[in-house]
Amino acid sequence: MLAKMHLHKLLAIHRTQDTQHFDQGIVTATLVGARIRALRKKNQLSQDDLARLLGFKDRQTISAIETGVRRVTAEELVQVAEKLGAPLDYFTDPFRLVAEGRFSWRHEGADTHQLEEYERRAGRWIAAFRNLAPRVERRTPLLRRTLGLTRRSSYETAMEAGARFAADFELGSVPATRLASVMERDLGILVLMVDARRGISGAACRLPELDVVLIARHEVVGRRSFDLAHELFHLLTWDTMPPEHLEEALETGGRRVEQLANNFAGAVLMPTTALDRFGDWRHLSEQELVARLNAAGDELHVTASALMWRLVALRRLTKSAALALPPERLRNNRREFADDVAPALFSKPFAEVAGLAVDRGHVSMRRMAGVLDLPVEGVMELFAAHGVPAPVEL
CATH number at residue 135: 1.10.10.2910
Residue 343 belongs to a domain = no
Residue 78 belongs to a domain = yes
234 shares its domain with 260: yes
122 shares its domain with 262: yes
CA angle 96/109/212 to nearest 5° reads 35
The H or E element containing residue 203 is strand 200-207
Give the phi and the psi of residue 205 in degrees, each rounded to 5: -130, 130
Domain limits for position 68: 2-92
Q: What is the dihedral of CA 170, 174, 180, 183, to 10 degrees?
A: 20
* pLDDT at residue 30, rounded to an integer: 83
In b/e form, how buried is each residue of 219-233, taking b as 16+ CB within 10 angstroms?
A: bbbbbbbbbbbbbbb
What are the beta bridge partners of residue 211? Answer: 189, 206
Residue 392 belongs to a domain = no
Q: How far is CA 190 from the centre of its chain?
A: 7
241 shares its domain with 283: no
* pLDDT at residue 337, rounded to an integer: 52
Interatomic CA distance for residues 306 and 323, integer angstroms: 13
44 shares its domain with 174: no
265 shares its domain with 284: no
Could you list the pLDDT tens digit for every one of the 394 residues in the chain?
A: 444 444 444 444 333 333 443 334 456 788 888 899 989 998 999 999 999 999 998 899 999 999 889 988 888 899 999 998 888 888 888 898 887 779 998 888 777 888 888 999 999 999 999 999 999 999 888 788 999 999 999 999 999 999 999 999 999 999 999 999 999 999 999 999 999 888 888 999 999 889 999 999 999 999 999 999 999 999 999 999 999 888 876 666 678 999 999 999 999 999 999 999 999 998 899 999 999 999 999 999 999 999 999 999 999 999 999 999 999 999 888 765 555 688 999 999 999 999 999 999 999 999 999 999 999 999 999 999 999 998 865 5
* Domain end (from 269, 295, 314): 269
* pLDDT at residue 211, rounded to an integer: 96
Q: Which of 257, 321, 309 is nearest to 283 (CA)?
A: 321
* pLDDT at residue 60, rounded to an integer: 93
Which three-class secondary structure state does DSSP give residue 234? helix
117 shares its domain with 251: yes
* pLDDT at residue 387, rounded to an integer: 96
Greatest Cα pair distance in the chain: 81
Give the phi and the psi of residue 316 in degrees, each rounded to 5: -95, -5
202 shares its domain with 286: no
In b/e form, how buried is each residue of 357-394, taking b as 16+ CB within 10 angstroms?
A: bbbeebbebebbbbbbebeeeebbebbeebebeebeee
pTM for the model: 0.86
Q: How far is CA 176 from the centre of its chain?
A: 18
43 shares its domain with 115: no
Residue 391 belongs to a domain = no
Instruction: Give Cβ neighbours of residue 115 (< 8 Å, ≥ 6 apart).
Output: 105, 107, 197, 200, 246
Give the phi and the psi of residue 20 in degrees, each rounded to 5: -115, 120
Q: Cβ of 112: how many Cβ atoms within 10 Å?
A: 9
85 shares its domain with 119: no
Residue 221 belongs to a domain = yes
251 shares its domain with 317: no
Residue 381 belongs to a domain = yes
262 shares its domain with 280: no
Judge contact between 264 and 229, C-beta under 8 A. Answer: yes
Judge contact between 225 and 302, C-beta under 8 A. Answer: yes
Judge contact between 353 and 135, C-beta under 8 A. Answer: no
314 shares its domain with 182: no
* Domain end (from 233, 251, 269): 269
Residue 319 belongs to a domain = yes
* Domain end (from 249, 269, 289): 269
Interatomic CA distance for residues 233 and 33, integer angstroms: 32
* pLDDT at residue 20, rounded to an integer: 41
Residue 340 belongs to a domain = no
* pLDDT at residue 341, rounded to an integer: 82
* Backbone dihedral region for residue 188 (phi beyond 0: left; psi -120 to 50: alpha; all else: beta): left
Q: Which amino acid belongs to residue 167?
A: A
Instruction: Give Cβ neighbours of residue 162 (< 8 Å, ≥ 6 apart).
Output: 229, 233, 263, 264, 265, 266, 267, 268, 271
DSSP characters over 326-352: -GGGTGGGG-SS--PPPPPSB-HHHHH
Based on the structure, what is the number of domains in the chain? 4
Helices (H) and strands (E) in the chain, counts: 18, 8
Q: Cβ of 151: how many Cβ atoms within 10 Å?
A: 11
